[in-house]
Amino acid sequence: MPLQPIQVPEQFSTSDHPSTALRLIELAKERSDAFLKLSQPVIHNYVPCDFDLVNQGLAWIMDNYLLAGNRFCEFGSGLGVAALLASAHGMDSIGIEIEAALVEEACRLASDLELPARFYCGSFVPRNISDIFELSQGIEHVVTDEGDVYEEIGLAPSEFDLFFAFPWPGEYHFFESLFQQCAADGACLLTYQGREGLNLIRKI
């Protein structure tokens, strides 16, 4: 199925955001800084995205009714901030992360803010992806050979309506191919791409 780009504004108009989302961003910045300074061993794959921008993007998506449903999945969730922001905006939200220490931190953040997002330790790559060996060539920051975490979650990737990822430079094509293979028609993929901001596509 083809992928349809959706133009995301370069600047978002000022709008009210859930107070929980604003508290989350403030606390997440503190926790992220502390984790980067204190975590042992250092997790080199953890790099935080722009939490404020992701929050604005999620609010814009919700305000414009771009989703077919209410389920959110964060690929490589780190401290889980995107999944928690989606939860603060009313979505049924999960995050999948390979590093157990980050999953623990994400669960603690969710508990402290009383947000119902759930986090799972494992690879977000489903087991039924065709040509996964070829797709993952040159991809250094994604684990593809773990067990099937979706069995534990109780949902297939095709049952989510919005995915979020923060790809490393040069690895966006992997996430796009993964999304194209595993998502349902009508689902969307939001990615944070550093200086280029947010990118949004829909499977049609």
- Name the residue range of residue 105's domain: 19-203
The torsion angles phi and psi of 201, rounded to 5 degrees, stand at -130, 155
**27 falls within a domain:** yes
What sign does the CA torsion over 91, 92, 98, 100 have? Answer: positive
In a domain, 14, yes or no: no
Is residue 194, in this structure, part of any structural domain at all?
Answer: yes
Distance CA 125, CA 149 (A): 9
Residue 179 located in a structural domain: yes
Give the DSSP letter of residue 159.
G
- Is 102 domain-assigned? yes
Give the burial class of 186: count Cβ atoms within 10 A of its Cβ; 0-12 exposed, 13-18 middle, 19 or more buried: middle
Q: Model-level pTM?
A: 0.91
Residue 86 has pLDDT above 80, yes or no: yes
| Residue 139 token pair | 């991809």
For residues 185 and 202, give the distance between their C-alpha atoms in angstroms, rounded to a whole number: 8
Short-list 114, 125, 102, CA closest to 48: 102
Instruction: Please tell me the total count of domains within the chain.
Output: 1
Residue 12 within a domain: no
For strands 162-165 and 118-121, give the pairing: unpaired
Q: Is residue 40 part of a domain?
A: yes
Query: What does each C-alpha distance from 170 to 32, 76, 175, 176 come to in angstroms?
Result: 24, 16, 10, 12
Give long-range contacts, CB 8 A cutoff, 24+ apart: 10-14: 10/197, 12/56, 12/57, 12/59, 12/60
Question: CATH number for the domain including 178?
Answer: 3.40.50.150
Q: Position of tokens 């489903």?
A: 126
CA separation, residue 137 to residues 82, 140, 147, 168, 171 (Å): 27, 8, 20, 14, 10
124 DSSP assignment = S
121-142: pLDDT as tens digits: 999 988 877 666 566 666 665 6
Predicted local distance difference test score (pLDDT) of residue 85: 98
What 3-state class would DSSP assign to 13? coil
pLDDT digits (tens, 9 = 90+) for 5-55: 999 998 897 667 889 999 999 999 999 999 988 877 778 778 899 999 999
Residue range 170-192: mean pLDDT, rounded = 94
User: How high is the pLDDT of residue 41?
Assistant: 78
